[in-house]
Chains A and B, each alone.
Chain A
Amino acid sequence: MSDNEIQPSAPAPAASSAPAVDAAPDAAAAPEPKPERQPLVRLSGVKKYFPITQGIVFQREIGRVHAVDGVDLDVYPGETLGVVGETGCGKSTLGRLACRLLDVTEGTVEFEGREITKLKGKELRAFRREVQMIFQDPYSSLNPRKRVGQIIGDPFQIHGIADGKERKLRVQELMEVVGLNPEHYNRFPAEFSGGQRQRIGVARALALRPKVIICDEPVSALDVSIQAQVINLLEDLQNEFNLTYIFIAHDLSVVRHVSDRVAVMYLGKVVELSDAKRLYAEPKHPYTGALLSAVPVADPDEADKRERVILYGDVPSPIDPPSGCRFHPRCPKAQDRCVTEVPPLEPKASGDLAACHFPLEPGEDLAKAKPGIRQESTAPAM
């Protein structure tokens, strides 16, 4: 591969004067805050179905898991887009589609205006440099038999960027940037704590100076005090390197803290997309409301005051999702219309998007709502 093509940002390998991670030069070239807000990543009509097959030799498709089922989402440069939802709602699949770890079944993914779902070879490799990922589990996402220096240095090797001494230097700089001791270059992942391992994962994602980092539950495996350290680190790096984050998590308080906008997903669809502050103050979709009310708050008086909106039953199967609004079997506000008609994701009163026929009014008490249809799953008899 040609070195000069994929290495436009770093000058000659004069290692001492060219740190691996200085301020992004292309960001410096465009100092205007937002000329017309071109999305950096654009997902349009993205669907991902996983086939379920039966038989060994003649595999027949007997069904499909609708993991992501028609998502439109724009991510703008420099922002943090939070994605929340329960297990199995498709949020991780969405993240993987955005960086093409998975191929879409239908729809398009654009990066800087360029369709990436069909990229191959050299072009795909160049795209891989721009979008990186941080994984949830700092234990299983690092190869236990490789030394830290090699783990963080692998991206340089794969993309043929820096060799030998220079690679080591760059790796050590990265380690310093994420708050690891560069002297630990030759240690194994097992010698680090969970928080430190997650820093290794961050350093690895940062190595190629990507524009977008997809953080898939980056702190959910960490203790609270360490969680806060990693979140602060991610925020510092965002400011320093002008990064754009897609932040996937199920912890709503963490997502609120880091995000500018939040997309709430339910069974493969975005049900609400809104400014982070407004989402928490005035949820529009009953699912968002219920989700928020379920988060325990570390404040006893508040906890006593609050009434949890209990959603009974489990998330329905994504193999055969419910008709109409997918939330209707659990929704406290469901009416007949919700069973038959799919609500579009459209702007509601505040300008935020929600996919609901009967969105919540500001201050409405969801705990007192009565569904207009018979719900399949009801409260356990006690």
Chain B
Amino acid sequence: MALLEVRDLHVQFHTDDGIVKAVDGVDFTLDRGETLGIVGESGSGKSVTCLSILGLARGGRVTGEASFQGRDLLKMHPDEMRDIRGKQIAMIFQDPLSSLHPYYRVGAQIVEAIQAHEKVSKKDAHKRAVELLGLVGIPRPERRVDDYPHQFSGGMRQRAMIAMALALDPAVLIADEPTTALDVTVQAQILDLIERLQDEFGTAIVMITHDLGVVADMADTVLVMYGGRPVEVADRRTAYYHPHMPYTWGLLQSLPAIGAEQDQERLHPIKGLPPSLIHPPAGCKFNPRCPYVFDLCTREEPKLLPADAASPGHLSACHLSLEDKQRIWEEEVAQTR
């Protein structure tokens, strides 16, 4: 049985302008020790998906099922949820400055997280906090534990967040854009740290990011979201070398190549803008921006299905036939990468 299994998750927000369908049918599974990379642009529903699993999608109507070790998180009483959140499923947020409380010392915040879930004395919890800060590579942790967040650099704050998330040895770690606010050199440190901690503790990780480079580096499985829905799910290599969905193609094509050999004159952006979540386009939500659109796309929303019997784990939501997908990718898209 999968550790975390999300089925048909929908999250809607009622606003003055109408109902925002932020998440519109998401399914995925996560096994122990696995890393799932969720990619997509802003507003594609990646963060809301994870927040709603933890019962943090404030003001949203959440339907569907998210079973964690056999129990449905979405139907759980808030008190039960509070026990799981932080202890069994922990989360790291994008901006470490706004997710640490500026008024309390870093150590005190880690102590609070530990004491919220375990009956330990303040002294022991403090000792644990020092150990954890050392573990995530903060120099002289016994002194830095009494610093305030503003005395930490951006990378150190994110390390402190990771220390806090790992304090209770969670089974699942949700990392929402953990390195987006950081410099590449610090990003490399943090990714390295997450990888090593995963090796050590066997934590399953959901990594939300818009950076296709980070996903290529970290994820086992890649889930591409667009307009609140997953449009492609594949293992890491398939997602990058044989993707089926024109949106995935577009994302890969938009990137400037860093390899020294190729030299492109122009980038290939996806035309148009992300869809409105209040009045999404009829049929496939990507159809107004898709270069390969045909009449069926504007009528019927494609389901997320395996297109190729040879690789059943590779799902995509697109009306193009398998032959077309393979042909277009090989002949047109792969050339411009």
Residues of chain A whose beta carbon lies under 8 Å from any beta carbon of chain B: 86-87, 193-196, 223-229, 231-232, 235, 250, 252-254, 256-257, 277, 280-281, 290-291, 293-303, 308, 310-314, 377, 379-382
Q: How far is the CA of A296 from the CA of B257 in the complex (A)?
A: 11
Contact B185–A256 (Cβ < 8 Å): no
Contact B188–A229 (Cβ < 8 Å): no
Chain B, Cβ-Cβ closest to A231: B267
Q: How far is the CA of A295 from the CA of B270 in the complex (A)?
A: 23
Contact B210–A224 (Cβ < 8 Å): yes
Chain B, residues 271-288, CB within 8 Å of chain A (1/0): the string is: 101100000000000000
Given contacts A224-B41, A295-B213, contact A300 B237 (CB under 8 A): yes
| CB-defined contacts of B212 to chain A, threshold 8 Å | 224, 298
Given contacts A225-B269, A228-B267, A300-B237, contact A253 B41 (CB under 8 A): no
Q: Report if B64 contacts A (CB, 8 A).
A: no
Contact B256–A298 (Cβ < 8 Å): no
Q: Which residues, 96 to 131 on B, are CB-close (under 8 Å) to A? A: none
Contact A381–B237 (Cβ < 8 Å): no
B-side interface size class: 35 or more
Given contacts A232-B269, A301-B237, A314-B153, contact A87 B183 (CB under 8 A): yes
Q: Which residues, 213 to 261 on B, are CB-close (under 8 Å) to A? A: 213-217, 236-237, 240-241, 250-260
Contact A314–B156 (Cβ < 8 Å): yes
Across the interface, A299 reaches (CB within 8 A) one of B134, B191, B240, namely: B240
| CB-defined contacts of B41 to chain A, threshold 8 Å | 223-226
Q: Which residues, 267 to 324 on B, are CB-close (under 8 Å) to A? A: 267-271, 273-274
| CB-defined contacts of A194 to chain B, threshold 8 Å | 42
Contact A294–B185 (Cβ < 8 Å): yes
Given contacts A229-B269, A294-B187, contact A224 B254 (CB under 8 A): yes
Q: Report if B330 contacts A (CB, 8 A).
A: no
Contact B183–A310 (Cβ < 8 Å): no
Given contacts A257-B256, A297-B213, A300-B216, contact A226 B189 (CB under 8 A): no
Contact A225–B270 (Cβ < 8 Å): yes
Q: Report if B135 contacts A (CB, 8 A).
A: yes
| CB-defined contacts of B270 to chain A, threshold 8 Å | 225, 228
| CB-defined contacts of B193 to chain A, threshold 8 Å | 380
Given contacts A195-B273, A300-B216, contact A257 B254 (CB under 8 A): no
Q: Report if B136 contacts A (CB, 8 A).
A: yes
Given contacts A223-B42, A228-B269, A314-B153, contact A257 B252 (CB under 8 A): no
Chain A, Cβ-Cβ closest to B239: A300
Q: How far is the CA of A295 from the CA of B200 in the complex (A)?
A: 25
Given contacts A225-B251, A256-B258, A295-B184, contact A382 B135 (CB under 8 A): yes
Q: Which residues, 21 to 40 on B, are CB-close (under 8 Å) to A? A: none
| CB-defined contacts of B189 to chain A, threshold 8 Å | 310-312
Q: How far is the CA of A281 from the CA of B261 in the complex (A)?
A: 9
Contact B216–A377 (Cβ < 8 Å): no
Across the interface, A277 reaches (CB within 8 A) one of B183, B251, B260, B269, namely: B260
Across the interface, B135 reaches (CB within 8 A) one of A86, A295, A379, A380, namely: A380
Q: How far is the CA of A379 from the CA of B196 in the complex (A)?
A: 12
| CB-defined contacts of B186 to chain A, threshold 8 Å | 86, 314
Contact B188–A294 (Cβ < 8 Å): yes
Give B274 Cβ to nearest chain A Cβ, in Å.
Answer: 8
Give B329 Cβ to nearest chain A Cβ, in Å.
Answer: 15
Q: How far is the CA of A211 from the CA of B186 in the complex (A)?
A: 36
| CB-defined contacts of B269 to chain A, threshold 8 Å | 225-229, 232
Residue of A225, A294, A299, A379 with highest tally of chain B CB at under 10 A: A225
Q: How far is the CA of A311 from the CA of B188 in the complex (A)?
A: 8
Contact B137–A232 (Cβ < 8 Å): no
Chain B, residues 167-192, CB within 8 Å of chain A (1/0): the string is: 00000000000000001111111011
| CB-defined contacts of B16 to chain A, threshold 8 Å | none
Q: How far is the CA of A226 from the CA of B268 in the complex (A)?
A: 10
| CB-defined contacts of B42 to chain A, threshold 8 Å | 194, 223
